Amino acid sequence: MNAACEAATRLGLVVVERSAMLRPEDVWEVVGGRLQRRDTIRREDVSLRELNPADREFIHADPPCSVGARRFIAGFGVDGNRRLTLSLKDLHEGNRSYVQLSGGERLRLPLRDLPIVKL
């Protein structure tokens, strides 16, 4: 991960659940006084739902980031309680970076298997 703007101190991660459903729709017509199926149209409905709306910008970079510089390594997993987990490491030597949770708690990097959303 890297910063999109020079001297960025907060980085975000938006976790989105994507669901898609294929819905068949029948088209009917009257032929010779009888109702007959003429065609079946398949329509895909896609919906997106943000799973962490209150915790978008929780990665705090100290010192600030430089645009284009590779700064963080992130890994993702799913724990036994069906939560998306984050492992995060700051590549900047001597950093004081941390993750701030919605309750205000600060966790210094590197982190391993931090639950971030319930799936």
User: Tens of pLDDT along 24-47?
Assistant: 999 999 999 899 999 999 989 999
pLDDT reported for residue 56: 83
Q: Which of 103, 92, 99, 95 is nearest to 113 (CA)?
A: 99
The phi-psi region of residue 38 (left if phi > 0; otherwise alpha if psi is between -120 and 50; otherwise beta) is alpha
- Please give the tally of structural domains in the chain: 2
Residue 119 pLDDT greater than 90, yes or no: no
Identity at 33, one-letter amino acid code = G
CA–CA dist 102, 99 (Å, integer): 10
Q: For residue 31, give its domain range.
A: 19-48
Classify residue 5: in a domain, yes or no: no
Q: Can you tell me the mean pLDDT for 69-97?
A: 96
pLDDT reported for residue 53: 86
- If asked whether residues 69 and 53 sit together in one domain, one would say yes
Q: Which of 48, 15, 16, 18 is nearest to 116 (CA)?
A: 15
- If asked whether residues 38 and 54 sit together in one domain, one would say no
CA–CA dist 119, 97 (Å, integer): 27
pLDDT reported for residue 66: 93
- If asked whether residues 37 and 80 sit together in one domain, one would say no
Q: Categorize the per-residue pLDDT at 99 as very low, low, confident or very high, splitting at 50, 70 and 90.
A: very high
